[in-house]
Structures are given as structure tokens and as C-alpha cells.
Amino acid sequence: MNGRVILLNSGKTDAYRHLVKFVPATGIDVITERKYTALYPTNTNLHYVNDIADETEVLNVARKLDSSDSIAAVVSPSERSLPVGGYLRTYFNLPGTGFDVAWGFANKSVMKSKLRSAGVEVARALTISNIRQLVDAGDEIGWPVVVKPVIGSGSMNTYKIHNREEAASFLETPQADWFRNSRYQIIVEEYITMKGEYHCDAIIHNGQVVFFVLQRYFSPLLECTGAWGGSIMIGKGDERYDKISAIYPKVVKALGLKDGVTHMEAFWTGTKFIVGEISCRPAGGGIPKSILLKYGIDLWDAFTAASLNLEYNHKASELIPGIIANIDLPVQTGRLVDICTIDELSSIDGFVSADLSPVGTLFSEPLNSSSATGIVYVQLQSDAELEGTLQQLKERYHSAYES
């Protein structure tokens, strides 16, 4: 690669780990926040900003870097870095996703408006500028509603509000103050009554969905924090698989992504999918690894290659028969002082592998829907086996924290 590569990242260790497979570490400049320092090897070229989502601040650093050796590519794998990553690509005329497309993925209000215009079913929603408009917005949408910032990821700062009274009380909470102090608009949307929440992770090449995997979250995201989260693959014969494969190309076309990796979340009503949101980066948690184990497809490699304007031509193959579930081991705040061994877990039916946090790991607030003490991957013949496997896992897994 001629020129330097910028990695605009929070603390996603997968991002750097995969990037050095394509580009020597000396050719990589990481723009990040000081608190993530320890997550990078000591010889990494680190450049600090206070906020990786601050366009002006990041652009200033990038311009300085560019003036000594021009920037060839920008990799922006964390949700917060998507818009500024796109901005840098447009600004420096680099390959990959520019600002217009990145913004459509990052801003949920813009995203839903584009999807709606393209005939993709999404929840009814209103965008408000001040949290005090929540009551009126809820009245208009119909209660209950979900309220969240237009920019954000996972379940962070996302609340289900059941009625007018709850909305009024919510306005008195510190959570409402967060919205008051935030620079972002707020989206208030219809709460979808659903039979399950799904995620569908895909590789996009030349604007086409060339590979995707559909999985069901164990329980809707909003309720899983701190519990046994995870997701399980849906087999190709399932009607939901066909339904999502009809929707996905429309979503990608509506948002204009040419090359990259997407993580879409959708609600299944029992008869159809309603698209929740979609991002243009690999999913968090155990999702990428579950796909790697099953199909040999590395979403992080595909994402990194697309960011560098390189081809990712790996063909999917069935490495493990059946379906794979990735199971998040529950987490709590505090220092992990004891945890079971992989050996103890390996005796559960269908065990494939497990990644466990080492003793000493500190888990601090805010925990989110991707927080876990570890992830266990199991192979199943069908969805029906999940409950038994989870039961076995719960019996064998143990950990201890010190607050």
C-alpha cells in the first residue's frame, strides 16, 4: 500500500489485529482516545483525540499526518467512528465508504427515512430535537415507544417508555439529562411487538449482498444486559431466511453501500421482518467468530480488505455441519477473580470453542449488550437443542468478581 493507513478506532482489538495482516504496523497510524492505549501493542503509532467522533479534531490530526506522507486509506470499525471515517475518505478522496453513505448508516433517523423511501418496512418513528418533546412524540406514535439518540450503538442510551406518565417521570431522571447534554437528535419510535430479534451479517461487494448469515438473538437486546445473551444461526431452509434475503439487497441499495461488511438487526413479527437498524462494520460479541467457525469467512478480513480497496475473495464452505450458537457468559461490574477453565466447559454437548476473559479483567460501567466475561461457541442440529445446551453450560460455568 502506497501511503499510510489510518485506523480511526475506539478499543476494538479485532480491528488492529486484522489490519496488521494487510499492512505492516509501521504503515498504520491509529487515531484513538487515550483511555484505549493499553489495548494496542506498545510499538503502535498512536495519535490521540478527545473524541473519535469529533470531525474537526480528527481531521486536524489526519491533515498533519497526510502532510508528511499521504493517507492511502481509512479504516473506521467502531460505530462512533463511522461518520468521521467516511468524512476523511471524502475529504482526502480515498476509496471506500464516503461521508454520505456512512452518515446514512450512522444516523438512525436518516437511515430509516432512506429505508422507508425504498419501500423497506421499518418502525414508525419521529425525530425530535429536545427530550421534552418525548411525551408529544409518544402520543403521536402510540405507546409504548423506544427512545434513543440518532447516533449510537447497541442498547446504549436506549429506553422503552410505556406511557405518558412514564415519559413524564423519565424526563426527571439523569438518563433524560444525558439526552439534554447530547449533541445528537433523538429518535422516538414505535415499540415493535415481536416474536424475536434477529441479526443478519453480510459482505457487500459492488453493491451486491454476496454472503450473509441470519441469526436470532436469544432474547431481545434491550432485556439481555447482564444475562445469558447470544445468538443462534437460522438454517437456510427456514422461511425467515428467504424473507431476509429478499429485504437485504433493498436495504443495501437504499443506503448506497458499495463494498464492506454490514450488521443488520430486524424484528420478526411472526410473518415478516421489520428492519431495526444496520451498521457498516463487523458485529460485536461472538458473531464474527461464529461465522468464521461455521463458514471459514472472516468478516473482519472482508471489512479490512474493503476499507483498503482490496478484494476479499474467500469462498464460504461448510466447516461445521448444523448451526452454531454463540453464547455470552454473563458479566457484572468488578474485577474478575475466578473463572472456570475451558476444559470444564468442553464437556457440554456440541462444544466447539470458548474465549474466556483472564482473571484480573476489570469490568466497569457502562456495560452494554456486547459486554461478556467470555463467549462459548456450540454446534447444534436445531434451535430446539439450545435450551438443553444452555442448561448444561449454566451448570458448568462459574466465575467470581471483586467489586
Q: Near a copy of itself by CB under 8 A, which window of 101-109, 157-165, 195-203, 317-325?
A: 101-109
Contacting a copy of itself within 130-169 (CB under 8 A): 130
63 interacts with a copy of itself by CB under 8 A? yes
109 interacts with a copy of itself by CB under 8 A? yes
189 interacts with a copy of itself by CB under 8 A? no
Peptide bond into 249 cis (omega under 30): no
- Shortest CB 27 distance to a copy of itself, Å: 19
- Shortest CB 129 distance to a copy of itself, Å: 3
- Shortest CB 98 distance to a copy of itself, Å: 4
**Integer Cα distance of 280 and 276 in angstroms:** 14
Q: Near a copy of itself by CB under 8 A, which window of 39-47, 55-63, 136-144, 154-162?
A: 55-63
268 interacts with a copy of itself by CB under 8 A? no
Task: Return the number of the residue (125 or 287) whose C-beta is nearest a copy of itself.
Answer: 125
Task: Return the number of the residue (107 or 370) whose C-beta is nearest a copy of itself.
Answer: 107
4 interacts with a copy of itself by CB under 8 A? no
279 interacts with a copy of itself by CB under 8 A? no
C-alpha distances (whole Å) from 398 to each of 56, 89, 322, 338 are 46, 46, 28, 8
67 interacts with a copy of itself by CB under 8 A? yes
Q: Build a one-symbol-per-residue string for 224-253: x at contacts with a copy of itself by CB under 8 A, - elsewhere.
A: ------------------------------
355 interacts with a copy of itself by CB under 8 A? no
Q: Near a copy of itself by CB under 8 A, which window of 30-38, 97-105, 155-163, 190-198?
A: 97-105
Torsion sign (Cα): 298, 300, 303, 305:
negative
Among the listed residues 251, 299, 243, the one whose alpha carbon sits nearest the alpha carbon of residue 272: 243
Q: Near a copy of itself by CB under 8 A, which window of 107-115, 296-304, 359-367, 390-398?
A: 107-115
Q: Which residues of the shown chain bind a copy of itself in the complex (CB under 8 A)?
A: 55-56, 63, 66-67, 87, 90-91, 93, 98-101, 103-104, 107, 109-110, 113-114, 129-130
